[in-house]
């Protein structure tokens, strides 16, 4: 399998998060699809910056600094995207037998579970530190609160979250001894945030919690969940669709130093309207001049036609009065 080389800035946080679940470097290398040599380079940098401590050959552990920095990372660039707060529904295939007896099967296998839901009849188990509801016709998977999936846009972040779903389902299949794939996934909940965002940082500094809603509910917020890290966050059912548009709007405004304000746009539109009015007036005057020339041209044509008719009459009259010439044997006689 060819391993995909990720952007260097994207790797540090996934590596730190991976160490929260395992210290096995081979597992981390496979999970992040990077070579062991590249992983060693990142481990060296993380150790120098105080996020890891080298305990021995091939043995690293997280420091207190990395444990406290659960969601925020100094390596990531401004306005990078963090996907988080995922809840997935996975439709179960009809071919699974004895699913209606899953509680008895969990007991027989010695798998710990709790009963949840309004009627307390849905078994909930934990896989890879995620809570999974074993519902009648689907699985509901709740991601960890401190899980983060970074990318340059929401598509990249969601793709990384999808890869994590495959790992979770694979572990669940092995634990239950049942085949759930191919997966039919519904994204029930997802948040996408611009990290290290200047607007969010300023609001956090002032202690302002901003929440914006429309008729469909809350869709944008700024809070201090990242300990003054500064996140401008899209939430709600349309967050995956809205986030790229908001990211584009923010970055384009940054390029113009936010000079393209509503007032700026109104002034620009006003100037364009004035230019259009001036051009319309010029075109109107030009049309009037052309009409005038056309009218004069018509008059000239009529005068020429009249003159031509007069000339024709004059020519006919001259033709009648013109002397006739005859010829005989001896002379030419003028009549």
Q: Band the pLDDT of 59: cuts 50, 70, 90.
A: confident
* CATH code that applies to domain 8-68: 1.10.10.10
What pLDDT is stored for residue 329 in this prediction? 47
Whether the CB-CB separation of 16 and 73 falls below 8 Å is answered with yes
pLDDT higher than threshold 80 for residue 251: yes
Whether the CB-CB separation of 195 and 76 falls below 8 Å is answered with yes
What pLDDT is stored for residue 300 in this prediction? 67
| CA-based torsion, 95, 96, 97, 99: positive or negative | negative
- The stretch 249-265 carries a mean pLDDT of 76
pLDDT higher than threshold 60 for residue 288: yes
The Cα 170–Cα 183 span in angstroms is 11
- The stretch 137-157 carries a mean pLDDT of 91
pLDDT higher than threshold 50 for residue 144: yes
pLDDT higher than threshold 50 for residue 1: no
The rounded mean pLDDT for the chain is 82
Burial class from Cβ neighbours inside 10 Å (0-12, 13-18, 19+) for residue 42 reads buried
Question: CA separation (Å) from 207 to 179, 204, 210, 222, 228?
Answer: 49, 5, 10, 10, 9
- The stretch 123-127 carries a mean pLDDT of 96
- The stretch 165-191 carries a mean pLDDT of 93
What pLDDT is stored for residue 330 in this prediction? 44
**Structure-block tokens of residue 334:** 């003028």
What pLDDT is stored for residue 89 in this prediction? 97
What pLDDT is stored for residue 322 in this prediction? 54
Domain ranges of the chain: 8-68, 81-255
| Residue 59 β-bridge partners | 56
The Cα 17–Cα 295 span in angstroms is 84
pLDDT higher than threshold 90 for residue 107: yes
Question: CA separation (Å) from 112 to 82, 123, 129, 154, 180?
Answer: 32, 9, 13, 35, 20
C-alpha neighbours within 13 Å on the C-beta side of residue 178 = 16
Whether the CB-CB separation of 123 and 131 falls below 8 Å is answered with no
- The stretch 309-334 carries a mean pLDDT of 58
Q: Band the pLDDT of 9: cuts 50, 70, 90.
A: low
- The stretch 239-256 carries a mean pLDDT of 89
CA 30 to centroid of chain Cα atoms: 28
More reliable by pLDDT, 4 or 172: 172
More reliable by pLDDT, 119 or 281: 119
- The stretch 130-147 carries a mean pLDDT of 94
Q: Is 131 helix (H, G, I), strand (E, B) or coil?
A: strand
The Cα 247–Cα 232 span in angstroms is 10
Indicate the range of 37-41, 141-145, 266-270 predicted with least confidence. Answer: 266-270
More reliable by pLDDT, 113 or 56: 113
Per-residue exposure over 214-243, b if at least 16 CB sit within 10 Å of its own CB, e if not: eeeeebbbbebbbeebbbbbbbbeebbebb
Question: CA separation (Å) from 231 to 25, 163, 241, 325?
Answer: 31, 24, 18, 114
């Amino acid at each position: 399998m060819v391993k995909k080389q990720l952007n260097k800035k994207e790797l540090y946080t996934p590596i730190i998060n991976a160490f929260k679940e395992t210290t096995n470097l081979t597992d981390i290398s496979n999970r992040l699809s990077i070579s062991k040599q590249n992983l060693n380079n990142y481990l060296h940098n993380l150790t120098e910056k105080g996020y890891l401590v080298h305990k021995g050959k091939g043995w690293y552990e997280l420091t207190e600094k990395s444990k406290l920095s659960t969601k925020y990372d100094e390596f990531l660039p401004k306005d990078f995207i963090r996907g988080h707060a995922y809840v997935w529904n996975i439709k179960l295939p009809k071919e699974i037998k004895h699913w209606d007896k899953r509680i008895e099967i969990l007991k027989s296998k010695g798998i710990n579970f709790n009963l949840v839901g309004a009627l307390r009849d849905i078994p909930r188990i934990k896989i890879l530190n995620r809570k999974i509801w074993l519902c009648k016709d689907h699985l509901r998977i709740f991601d960890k609160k401190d899980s983060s999936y970074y990318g340059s846009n929401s598509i990249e972040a969601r793709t990384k979250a999808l890869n994590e779903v495959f790992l979770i389902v694979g572990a669940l299949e092995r634990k239950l001894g049942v085949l759930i794939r191919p997966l039919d996934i519904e994204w029930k909940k997802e948040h996408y945030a611009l990290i290290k965002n200047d607007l969010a940082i300023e609001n956090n500094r002032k202690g302002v919690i901003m929440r914006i809603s429309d008729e469909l509910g809350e869709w944008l917020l700024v809070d201090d969940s990242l300990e003054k890290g500064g996140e401008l966050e899209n939430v709600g059912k349309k967050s995956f669709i809205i986030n790229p548009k908001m990211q584009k709007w923010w970055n384009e405004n940054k390029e113009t130093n936010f000079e393209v304000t509503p007032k700026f746009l109104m002034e620009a539109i006003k100037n364009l309207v004035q230019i259009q009015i001036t051009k319309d007036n010029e075109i109107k005057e030009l049309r009037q001049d052309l009409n005038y020339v056309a009218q004069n041209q018509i008059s000239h044509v009529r005068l020429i036609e009249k003159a031509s008719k007069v000339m024709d009459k004059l020519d006919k009259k001259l033709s009648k009065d013109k002397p006739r010439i005859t010829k005989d044997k001896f002379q030419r006689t003028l009549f």
